Structure 1
Amino acid sequence: MAQKKITQTAGQTQLGDLAPKFAELNDDVLFGEVWNRPGLSAHDRSMVTVATLVGKGIIDSSLSHHLQFAKSNGVTRTEISETLTHIAFYAGWPNAWGAFRLAKDIWRDETTNEDAKAAFQHEMIFPIGEPNTEYAKYFKGKSYLARVSASQIPFSNVTFEPRCRNNWHIHHATKGGGQTLVCVAGRGWYQEEGKPARMMKPGDVVHIPANVKHWHGAASDSWFAHLAFEIPGENTSNEWLEEMTDQEYDKLKWE
């Protein structure tokens, strides 16, 4: 997934009349070029910027802006807390206190679950996407869906929270059909009816023939994401069946 291009107009908005060249350098060079250079992600550049500002004792509205910017670039509550704690020993306790007061308000509404979700996003290049509401009734737990491509062989990235899994189901087809799964992050399970459950880790591939009953989902202690490729076929349809119960799921063991 390509990094979203960073743009900035604050220089022009606030200083364009007074200092047009400074505004141009701020918006077009600093943010337009430096922040978009390859080699560091926007997430990492935000971390570096926050550390530098706190180290210089700048804990005013400028830091508040960059903390908000850091959050929008995917910096989690856990990451900012650890970063400021580390900085305190090198940049001074009062500076860290001031930064924490600002960060506390900015990350106030971020729940532990959202923090974990944001951290998991950093493990893979594909987007987590939106809550998988259309198919939620066929999943136990919360899942997310991001359509990656609708051309040639359509495929999506499906993300499962820990313990989330879909119901037993069958991809029907009279010819061709079926599905291929490619694990891209985390750890999870795949199981066909009558066979032992198979663990899935990043890079693992599962080929699911048409008309085979199966389920897949996350490990109990890990988020899990896989690409799901829809194999073309004739007279294709999905049949959703019973759920994978807690009793059955809790019997699964990693080997």
Structure 2
Amino acid sequence: MSLGDEQGHGGAGETRTRLPERETDPYGGARRGGRSSSRSLVTVVGVVVLLIAAIAFANRGDDDASGGDAGSEAKPKVATTAASGTKPVASKAGGIPTGYSRDQQGAESAAANYSVALGSAEMFSKTQRDSILQTIIVPSRVAGMEAALDRAYSPALNKSIGLNDDGTTPKGNTFVSRTSPIGTKVTEFTTSTATVEVWCSGLLGLAGQSSTNPVTNSWFTITMKLQWTDGDWKIVTHSQKEGPAPVPGDDKASTADDMAKAVEEYGGFTYAR
């Protein structure tokens, strides 16, 4: 039966048939009618699919809310992008979120926020970098990490990025260094230690009319080994590798002024699992 057929409106078994539209175009009138019906069918099917999906989603929510006797095993698995619903942190130290829960959710939240700190512009300042490390690294490894990063954040590195030798920003430019976690994954966990991978997107460069190092985007994954120390998760070691990276889109690059303005006006987030 076509979408135009209806039964039971004028008597048992009676069928009302839609007549063909008048053919005014000798080269395609009839075919246009067919295409219209096809488009209508696709639209109706699409709406039905959406309705079914909406009903299924609503029913799933009802099941979750009323499944008291079924036990946790009867509940559907949480999606990888779903929030845990647990408050991420209880406090901050030097602007860095601290005070995580002693579970996997807490370890993931800590790793995400520590990734932001390690990828921030403040890491290019010796004083601010040491403060960050003292907040997020296990105490026994702070001195060694400070020495290692003092060597890494060298005048040569600063120059390659476009900064002054001491890590300060050249006049007339805005330095951009930001890391945004996309997702986290726990690969090992005990109540005392955890290994967490954090998939990130990053921005790095100088926004300015005279800049020869414009702000660019990169994708990378940071792996952190965490330890429960003094009532919080702290980093024991961390490493970084490239990717996974998506195919670049067709976005038009913003001007240096627009990029500098965005960095100054848009603040960051406290990340949570």
TM more than 0.5: no
**Range of TM-score over shorter length:** under 0.3
The two structures have a TM-score, normalised by structure 2, of: 0.21
The two structures have a TM-score, normalised by structure 1, of: 0.22
